[in-house]
Structure 1
Amino acid sequence: MPASLKFTFLAQWWGFLLLYAVPVTAVLLLGESFEMPYWFVLSIFILGLLSLFANLKGFHRFKHCVIAMGKNDSTVLDEQWDDLHQARRRAFIVAGFPAWIGTLGYIFGLEGVAVLLLLLGSLLQLMLYRIPLQLK
Structure 2
Amino acid sequence: MTRKEVRRQLALAWWRQLGYTLVPLLVMSYLFGDGEPLWPMLQMPLFIAALVSLFLSLPLFSAYKRALVATEAALGRAEEPGAWQELARRRGKAFLAAGLPAWIAALAVLVGLNAVALFLLAMSSLVLLYLYRIPRQLG
Q: TM-score, normalised by structure 2?
A: 0.89
Cα offset, 1:33, TM superposition? 4.5
Contact 2:36 2:112 in 1 (8 A): yes
Does 2:91 align with 1:111?
no
Aligned residue number for residue 46 of structure 2: 44
The correspondence of residues 37-116 of structure 1 with structure 2, limited to 5 A, is: 37-38=40-41, 40-72=42-74, 74-116=77-119
- Give me the whole-angstrom Cα distance separating, in 2, the residues matched to 1:30 and 1:75: 51
- Partner amino acid, structure 2, of 1:52: L
Paired residues in the alignment total: 135
Q: So what's the TM-score if we normalise by structure 1?
A: 0.91
Give 1:2-41 correspondences, 5 Å limit.
2-31=3-32, 32-38=35-41, 40-41=42-43
Superposed displacement of residue 17, structure 1: 0.6
| Percent of matched pairs sharing the same residue | 33
The RMSD of aligned alpha carbons is: 1.5
Amino acid paired to 1:30 = L
Amino acid at match of 2:85: D
> Partner of 1:53: helix, strand, or coil?
helix
Task: Return the alpha-carbon distance in structure 2 between the equivalents of residues 131 and 6 of structure 1.
Answer: 8
Give a deviation string over 1:11-35, Cα, whole Å, max 9, x none.
1111111111111111222213424
- What is the distance in 2 between the residues matched to 1:52 and 1:45? 11
Q: Name which of structure 1's ranges 21-30 and 11-20 shifts more when overlaid on structure 2.
A: 21-30
* Structure 1: gaps spanning 5 or more residues: none
Whichever residue aligns with residue 42 of structure 1, its letter is: M
Cα displacement string for residues 30-78 of structure 1 (whole angstroms, at most 9, x for unaligned residues):
213424244x210110000010111111101110011112224612111
The equivalent of 2:129 in structure 1 is 126
Question: Quick check: 2:74–2:83 contact (8 Å CA) kept in 1?
Answer: no
The one-letter amino acid of 1:97's match is L
Q: Which moved more, 1:60-69 or 1:95-104?
A: 60-69
